[in-house]
Each structure stands twice: as C-alpha cells, then as structure tokens.
Amino acid sequence: MVVLRFAPSPTGYLHVGNVRTALINFLFAQTNQGRFLLRFDDTDTERSQNKFKEAILEDLDWLGWSFDPPFYQSERLALYDKAVETLKKCGRLYPCYETPEELDFKRKRLLAAGRPPVYDRSALSLRPDKKAAYEAEGRIPHWRFRLEDRTVSWEDLARGPLSYESTALSDPILIRANGSYVYTLCSVVDDLDTGITHIIRGNDHISNTAVQIQLTQALGGAETTFQFAHLPLLMGSKGESLSKRLGSLSIQDLRRDGIEAMALNSYLSQLGSSQDLSPQKNLKALIDSFSLKAFSANSPKFSLEDLERLNGRLLKALSFKEVHHALGQKGLSHIDEAFWLATRENISILKDLETLWSIVREPVKPIIEEGDKNYIALALTHLPSSPWDETTWKTWTDKLKQETERKGKALFMPLRRALTAQNHGPEMKKILPLIGKKRTRERLAGNSA
Ligand code: GLU
C-alpha cells in the first residue's frame, strides 16, 4: 500500500508553492489507491502557532482533498525520546556547547577563507573538564547527528539517480538547546512509524534527503525505505524567485479574491507538466489524468493571470446546477439560472456577478447631462434591431458616429452613464445584450428601470 503525507509546519499560511507539492502527493496517493496523511510538523515551539494550524485545515477543507485525520508531532514526543536514546546508544548523537554567536563566527571565517561552512565537529573532541566548565557556566547543549562520511545515493522518481557527498554537509542539529526536537529527526521517526512509502517534495529538500537517508538507516530503516521525488520550485512569471512573494500568494488571499478551489487544483496539478492547462470540474478528473512522470525538471512559472483566466474558463463550463452551491456560499443565491447562463461567459470570478446583477437586474437611475439630451434621444431612435448580441454595441455606436460629430469618450460615455448610471464598469458590448432592448429604451428615456 502506497502511503504519502503532507507535513506542513504551522509557521505561516499555506501558499501556492506548498499546496502544489501537497496536491501532487495527494494525487499520487489517489492514483495508486493509497493513503494520504496530514501531519503537522509543530515541534518548533517558538514559531508554530495555533492560528496557522486552523488556517491550514480551513484551506485544505476548501481545496476539497480527502486525507486521514491530522496528527501533530507535538503530541508524539515519547516516540522521538525513544529515537534519541537509540541514536545516543550507537554514538550518533553528540552534545555541542557553541553559542549561536560562536557558530556564526566559525561560519563566517570559513566563508571568508573560501571554504564551505561545514561544522568542524569540535564538540566531538571536547575534553570532559571543558564540558563540565561549560555546564557550570549554565550552557545547555544542543545535539547533533553524526553523519557518516560517505556518498548517499538514491533513485529520485523525478530527477533520476542522485547522489550527495555527506562531507559537504554539517552534522545536523536534532535537538535544540531549548530541548525541542528539530523537524529533521521527527520527520524520519514519523515517516518510519506511519509507514510512508513515497516522499514528494521541493528540490530545496535534496540535502535534507541526504541527511534523512542516513538517519533512517541509523534508526533501523533501509536506504530505500522511502522513495523520493524532488520537484523544481515554482518561479514567478519572469523567472524570478517566488520565495519573497509567497506570502502574498497565500491560499487565503486567492480564495478571498474569488479563485475557485477547482481552478487552483487544476492549475497547480498541471503547471510544469506536459498537460495543457485546462479547468477540471472535480478532483476525479485530475486524478484520472495525473502522472508524476509528466512533470518537467524545469522550474514552472506561476502566473496569477493564467490562474485567473483558468478560473474564468472553469466558470464558463459550469451549469447552473454545478455552480449553485458556490453561488450560495458567496452570498449570490439570488442569481437565477437565466442570469447565470447569460453572464457566465463574461466573468472571471463569481464576484463579478454582483456588479452585473446591479446594473442589469436592479433599477438604475439614468444619468443624462443637459448637453447630452439630444444625443441620447437620437440614440434611442437608432436602436439596432433584435436579436441583441456582442456585436450590437458596435453596430449602434458606428451608426451614431455617422449621425453625429461625436467620437471616443463623447460617443460612449453618455450612453454608459444613461444605461448603467456609472462612469466605469464591464465592457458595454457585453452588458448591452444583458440589459436588453426594453430596459435600454426605458433608461434612455430617463426612466428608472
Ligand atoms: N515540514 C516540512 C516543510 O514544511 C516538511 C518537508 C517534508 O516534506 O519533509 O518543509
């Protein structure tokens, strides 16, 4: 049985980057009839916050994926205590007394000498009297995992064979001086304990993988216990790093801006793969077309514009029955089927319906300036014949241009103000057929209609 997991650290809101990786894990589990676990990596007591846990659960609920009930690393400390004992017993965990400032100084010195900032393991050769002196001074140690100096290799499901020289890595800290356990340890313990088979994550985790493979072995697992796939990270549409913008690309914000969950699910599961972007109405369709092999090794470019466009395409394809629930959730339950069918082509988010509804279906008090009265009266006599469609606005205004000296703003604005009582709004060619001939007549005559 294939078992995958999404393991967010509740230190911030979910954003498009981590949701993409999580979605790929979810789809992989689903295509293999496997399980998908949700684990909160919350042992960093200083940075983890309940409000982020709640927000993450809310976002996942909105995305609509199914997963086993969540579990929390902070509730599994006994398991990590046991692993720590194992590591201590086999001499792979050692106490270090350097302060953050001392470590920083060492790092800078190495960098200045043009050498990689790898921890020098001086704690390993610390004499007992020095240790005792540090402890008397009140220093509390942090603990490092002693890596074996060797090459770690694995067959990466996304990148092919990969290998990493452990000598290029510092022995990782597994226990902080404040006693809290670091993700590096807890993750391996939990992945072993919960029977994880595949770990799909961003390629910023490649060096973690080299460490975690050694840790897995030290805790009784094998080099191949987990199959890894490292995916390239999302970039901005101009190829810039997204890491700084990710805060502004949170799932909460996209949801608030009116992006539909299935538009985001579709976009993030197809981006960077050989599939064309196309909106799917349900997760089943995404599962049916998913293949991990379809993902390219190049960094995909995230574009908000493409996502919004896909959202519009999704809405256009929805029947009234399919959109009904979403309308209710957004306080748009007054939208009826006829209105939906007439407008779905012209919106990119459901919220656009609010403006259209107030212009088209609610009485509008026309604005007609004194100086435009004759022009509006003329416009009334030149209304194009039925049926009205997207070409009607052009037919009408071309005719008025011929009949008057007006052009540009002077030609269009009085009509917009008379028909919508606003200076700005949706494209007139799109809303004119919705307003219809009857209301147009009334409004041009100055009547509230
Ligand atoms: N909590 C880790 C993170 O959010 C999980 C990484 C992993 O998938 O192992 O980066």
257 CA from centroid of ligand 1 (Å): 27
Q: How far is residue 372's CA from residue 234's CA, in Å, rounded to a whole number?
A: 53
Atom from ligand 1 closest to the CA of residue 5: 8
Atom from ligand 1 closest to the CA of residue 21: 8
Q: What per-residue confidence (pLDDT) applies to 359?
A: 94
Q: How far is residue 414's CA from residue 419's CA, in Å, rounded to a whole number?
A: 8
3-state class of 391 per DSSP?
coil
3-state class of 235 per DSSP?
strand
51 CA from centroid of ligand 1 (Å): 19
Q: What per-residue confidence (pLDDT) applies to 237?
A: 82
In the numeric block, which tokens belong to residue 363? 């009485």
* Peptide bond between residue 387 and the one before it cis (omega within 30 degrees of 0): yes
What are the pocket residues of ligand 1 if the criterion is a CB atom closer than 6 Å to any ligand atom? 7-9, 41, 183, 187, 201, 205
**Within the chain, which residues score under 70 in pLDDT?**
247-248
H helical segments located in 32-70: 50-63
Mention every residue, 6+ apart, whose C-beta is less than 8 A from residue 443. 364, 366, 418, 419, 435, 449
Max CA distance (Å), the chain:
103
Atom from ligand 1 closest to the CA of residue 201: 8
pTM: 0.90
Q: What percent of the chain has pLDDT over 90?
A: 94
Residue whose token pair is 């902070």: 74
Q: What per-residue confidence (pLDDT) applies to 349?
A: 95
Q: How far is residue 272's CA from residue 412's CA, in Å, rounded to a whole number?
A: 43
Q: What per-residue confidence (pLDDT) applies to 223?
A: 93
187 CA from centroid of ligand 1 (Å): 8
Closest CA to 61 of 11, 14, 2, 7: 14
- In the chain, the domains with their CATH numbers are 1-97+141-317 (3.40.50.620), 363-444 (1.10.10.350)
18 CA from centroid of ligand 1 (Å): 9
Mention every residue, 6+ apart, whose C-beta is less than 8 A from residue 312. 347, 348, 349
Q: What per-residue confidence (pLDDT) applies to 205?
A: 96
Strands 198-202, 227-231: parallel, antiparallel or unpaired by DSSP? parallel
CB 301 within 8 A of CB 284: no
